[in-house]
Amino acid sequence: MNLDDLRHLWLHLQYNLVSIIICSAFLVFGLTVYIMTRPRHVYLVDYSCFLAPDHLKAPFDRFMEHSRLTGDFDESSLEFQRKILERSGLGEETYVPEAMHYIPPRPSMAAAREEAEQVMFGALDNLFANTNVNPKNIGILVVNCSLFNPTPSLSAMIVNKYKLRGNIRSFNLGGMGCSAGVIAVDLAKDLLQVHRNTYAVVVSTENITQNWYFGNKKSMLIPNCLFRVGGSAVLLSNKSGDKNRAKYKLVHVVRTHRGADDKAFRCVYQEQDDAGKTGVSLSKDLMAIAGEALKANITTLGPLVLPISEQLLFFATLVVKKLFNKKVKPYIPDFKLAFDHFCIHAGGRAVIDELEKNLQLLPVHVEASRMTLHRFGNTSSSSIWYELAYVEAKRRMRKGNRVWQIAFGSGFKCNSAVWEALRNVKPSHNGPWEDCIDKYPVKLVA
């Protein structure tokens, strides 16, 4: 290019100045809108699961002896509890809260607060220590606990304990069951799309102290046998700089709500029995309702994660069933082609058995769920995090692996979260499996 070429270029620009300015303005405006509105990646920096002290362990013999000595249960109820424990898939080292270790038990508001503080603060202390994050830098806080909702709220208790900043966006989710952990993550994700360059903490737990059932209605005794002390704290970030140190990236969240159906709405229901004693009743239709909720959930999730071959087979079977033969069984996609690890809510042995059967999974795919149920019991919404910690403790998580967290809860809800590992993930310090992972997997009694 010589001087004449430059002079001609300058003249050309002068003659087309308006066009150039307009095009440049549209280009800048378009880039600005794209940058401001594009979905932000949500990273899971780290998480922590609460490990209760040894003196809170409840072996079967001690559990049954305490149940007998309370004097609230008749012989039929005691025998029912014994059978549930034997068939539940729980081990001898699960935990019940301090108040339940006394004879008679001492449930109170103060004791319930102590349980909540012990679990939430224990998980958060470990999370902040492992991540070196200053609590003052937390911009979003979401806490979920179904059955214990004091005033001030659990989220306010955390704000007070860690002296979080005054403009923090805090939320307290109650009454949403064991699937509320995924709901809390979804809420945090949406908030992180709006608020730039910040951290979000999700705390998931359940409180047992004030929700132990002291009656003789069989359907309301099951939660006593399954639910145990536990909780988790998860640190999420939308900061691009955290990608290098984060464990996972959130890929999808899919939520399904069956509450419009009366049977689904009442299948997990808190109520009083004929004697006026409060508890949570589990319907005999629970597994069938959970199966329907799962089908609806995977119908939405499948197209997002499955390879095209599986989607075509599923769609073809659906068309044949609708148009020609209603007796044709629906095709169950092979989700093993989409996911490397499965974290199925450890709600009970029957829940895990049903999903293993319906999704055609191998024993290794449900190992984390079965071992979590054995070691920690049903810890409600936090169980999927104990399961993920199990996979990490076994050193099975590799870069690029995808994890499917599936949770069920009252309402009735089925919720899924999909995560992608950003590196070969090692277990965090003071993890819940640190002192016992070498013992697992254990052989379960059939």
Q: pLDDT by residue (tens digit) across 279-291?
A: 999 999 999 999 9
Q: Compute φ and ψ for 196, nearest 5 degrees.
A: -80, 150
Instruction: State which amino acid sits at residue 246.
Output: A
Local confidence band at 35 (pLDDT 50, 70, 90 cut-offs) = low
> Three-state SS string across 40-80, please?
CCCEEEEEEECCCCHHHECCHHHHHHHHHHHCCCCHHHHHH
Please compute Rg for the chain using Cα positions: 26
Q: What is the mean pLDDT of the chain?
A: 92
Q: Is 221 part of any domain?
A: yes
Helix (H) or strand (E) holding 407: strand 402-409
Note the pLDDT tens digit of each residue in 400-416: 999 999 999 998 999 99
Q: Are strands 43-49 and 248-257 parallel, antiparallel or unpaired?
A: antiparallel
CA of 383: how far to CAs of 10, 145, 193, 360, 380, in Å? 68, 13, 26, 22, 6
We report the CATH number of the domain holding residue 283 as: 3.40.47.10
The pLDDT of residue 246 is 97
Q: Which amino acid, residue 432?
A: P
Inside any domain, residue 27:
no
Q: Above 90 in pLDDT, residue 330? A: no
**Burial, 199: exposed, middle or buried (Cβ in 10 Å; 0-12, 13-18, 19+)?**
buried
Sign of CA dihedral 141, 145, 146, 148: negative
Which helix H or strand E contains 255, and what residues bound it?
A: strand 248-257
pLDDT at 332: 80
Give the pairing type, strands 169-173 and 43-49.
unpaired
**Can you give the pLDDT at residue 422?**
97
Does residue 15 sit within a domain? no
Task: Assign 17 a pLDDT band (cuts: 50, 70, 90).
Answer: low
pLDDT of residue 38: 63
The count of residues in the chain is: 446
97-101-105-108 Cα dihedral, nearest 10 degrees: -30
SS3 at position 282: strand
Q: What is the pTM of this model?
A: 0.90
Whether 114 is covered by a domain: the verdict is yes
**Which residue in 84, 148, 72, 73 sits closest to 117, CA to CA?**
148
> In the structure encoding, which two tokens stand for residue 396, read together?
């099975």
Total count of domains within the chain: 1
Q: Judge whether 264 lies within some domain.
A: yes
Residues with catalytic function: 178, 257, 341, 345, 374, 378
Tens digit of each residue's pLDDT (9 = 90 or more) over 130-154: 999 999 999 999 999 999 999 999 9
Domain assignment of residue 166, given as a range: 42-439
Residue 84, pLDDT above cutoff 70? yes
With respect to residue 57, please indicate whether it lies within any of the assigned structural domains: yes
Is 28 among the domain residues?
no
Q: What is the pLDDT of residues 362-408, one digit of tens each?
A: 999 999 999 999 999 999 999 999 999 999 999 999 999 999 999 99
Q: What percent of the chain has pLDDT over 90?
A: 81
Pair of tokens at residue 13: 């620009």
Which pLDDT tens digit goes with each residue over 152-204? Answer: 999 999 999 999 999 999 999 999 999 999 999 999 999 999 999 999 999 99
Could you tell me which of 122, 305, 283 has the C-alpha nearest to residue 217? 283
Q: Looking at residue 138, what is its pLDDT?
A: 97
> pLDDT-based confidence at 312, cuts 50/70/90?
confident
- Cα–Cα separations (whole angstroms), residue 170 to 144, 188, 203, 420: 11, 10, 11, 27
Mapped onto helix, strand or coil, the DSSP state of residue 156 is helix
Residue 311 lies in a domain: yes
Write the CB contacts of 138 (distance below 8 Å, at least 6 apart in sequence).
162, 164, 165, 168, 198, 199, 200, 201
